[in-house]
Amino acid sequence: MEHESLALLEALLHIPSLSGQEAEAAAFLVDRMAGYGWEATVDAAGNAVGLVGHEGPLVVLLGHIDTVPGAIPVRVEAGCLYGRGAVDAKGPFATFIQATRRAELAGRLRCRVALVGATEEEAASSKGAHYVRERYAPAYCVIGEPSGWNRVTLGYKGRLLVHYRLEQASAHSAGELPAAPESLVAFWREVEAHCAAHNAGRERLFDQLIPSLRQVASGGDGLTDWCTATIGLRLPEGIDPACLADDLRALAGAAHVRFEGGCPAFRSPRTTPLASAFLRSIRAHGGQPAFLHKTGTADMNVVGPAWNCPIVAYGPGDSRLDHTPNEHIVISEYFQAIEVLAEVLGQL
Amino acid sequence: MEATCPECAASVALPADTLESEIIVCPECGAELEVVSLDPPALALAPEVEEDWGE
């Protein structure tokens, strides 16, 4: 089974699948899931979907199969499997497939499992998750993101992207009119101050409003000068994206600001049967379990509020390797996560 | 079954169908507690919620 698990992930890593370009990876996964005798299809959002079982509560295992750019040669070195998506999040979705298969072969599945390899999680659209949100009403949900084999993620911060654009008539640099880039810098400082005011007295990152300046460009044609920027904000609980957008629009002066990908933070309690099942399984496999709150955003933010069921995120891998040129998964940890999740599925 | 809350020393009743690793809330102090043993019944503070980067 371990050879099969490794081969599955390795083959999946060989298939490039940038957001919006997941068709080949989805077809590959559907083929593999159908090969297990599961009902498997690519749905209208391009998600790879596998359905297992006919009785019991519905468990949705929602991973994502798109990756950020940056090809990393797929290779095994010193017990690690390298490749773009090894951690975020093809490794976790391969874990879902192999754990479900393991539980099924052991005759331990008493639930129905819907495996969804979703599209466009790395894009602000979260296309795949939005599609399935309206089509399932699960009793339990596990999101496929790296937590480490012995940890379970309970919550993610929210997000808001701000696209800033200022255009103004060109003027001499010795004149009194601030240059367009200077106005952008002033806006950025206002954003930082707004966040700092919110964060006063809040020590946990999960409780803070954190801005990041992600892109800046400027130019002019002699008649008009312009400056654009993209700012990302990670939202704590209690910050509504629409209200924050209103505040930022008021700070932007004459600039045009456009907002994208707004979603609030989401947090699941640790007192659910699902969280307990993970604790039990991690301990049974010799681990010391821990819970996590993450500074990023995931498809849990999309489906969690709508499904209102016990939900966690789980998967092998170190999320500090997300989006890095060194992305890799420790193969032994991948196998451990498969065993832990198979045990969890047998308890639901 | 009854066990003692490690936070406030209150006696906490455990239903007959309680499972190991179940997380319950102490009715006295509100602490979230993990059932670490059923025989004998024993409770410990639930694993901490840590912070991590990512996604």
Give the nearest partner residue to B53 out of A154, A289, A295, using CB atoms: A295
pLDDT tens sequence across A35-66: 999 999 999 999 999 999 999 999 999 999 99
Cβ distance A279 to B55 less than 8 Å, yes or no, reads no
Query: B45: which 2 tokens?
Result: 């503070």
Domains of chain A in start order, with CATH, are 2-156+265-347 (3.40.630.10), 158-263 (3.30.70.360)
Q: Which residues of chain A neighbour B46 with C-beta distances below 8 Å? A: 270, 291
Which residues does A54 contact at the CB level (< 8 Å), separation at least 6?
A: A112
A319–B22 CB contact, under 8 Å:
no
Mutate to test the interface with B, among A159, A234, A235, A276 (most CBs of B within 10 A): A276
- Tens digits of residue pLDDT in A236-285: 999 999 999 999 999 999 999 999 999 999 999 999 999 999 999 999 99
pTM more than 0.90 = yes
- Domain locations along chain B: 2-45
Residues 6+ apart with CB under 8 A from A95: A144, A315, A316, A334, A337, A338, A341
**pLDDT tier for residue A296 given thresholds of 50, 70 and 90:** very high
Q: Establish whether A66 is a catalytic residue.
A: yes
| Gap between the Cα atoms of A221 and A201, Å rounded | 46
Mean pLDDT of A325-346: 98
Q: How far is CA A181 from CA A227, A228, B44, in A?
A: 6, 8, 56
The answer to whether A192 is a known catalytic residue is: no
Strands (DSSP E) along chain A, which ranges?
A: 39-42, 48-52, 58-64, 75-77, 80-82, 112-118, 140-144, 151-156, 158-169, 210-220, 224-235, 256-263, 266-267, 290-294, 311-314, 328-330
Please check whether residue A225 is in contact with residue A156, taking contact to mean a CB–CB distance below 8 angstroms. Answer: no
Q: What is the pLDDT of residue A172?
A: 75
Q: Do A275 and B53 make contact, defined as CB atoms within 8 angstroms?
A: no
Preceding peptide of B9 cis, ω within 30°: no
CA atoms within 13 A on the CB side of B24: 25
Cβ burial A134-152 (10 Å sphere, 16+ → b, else e): eebebbbbbbbbbbbbbbb
Q: Which CATH number applies to B2-45: 2.140.10.30, 3.40.30.10, 3.40.50.2300, 2.20.28.160?
A: 2.20.28.160
Q: Is the pLDDT of residue A7 over 80?
A: yes
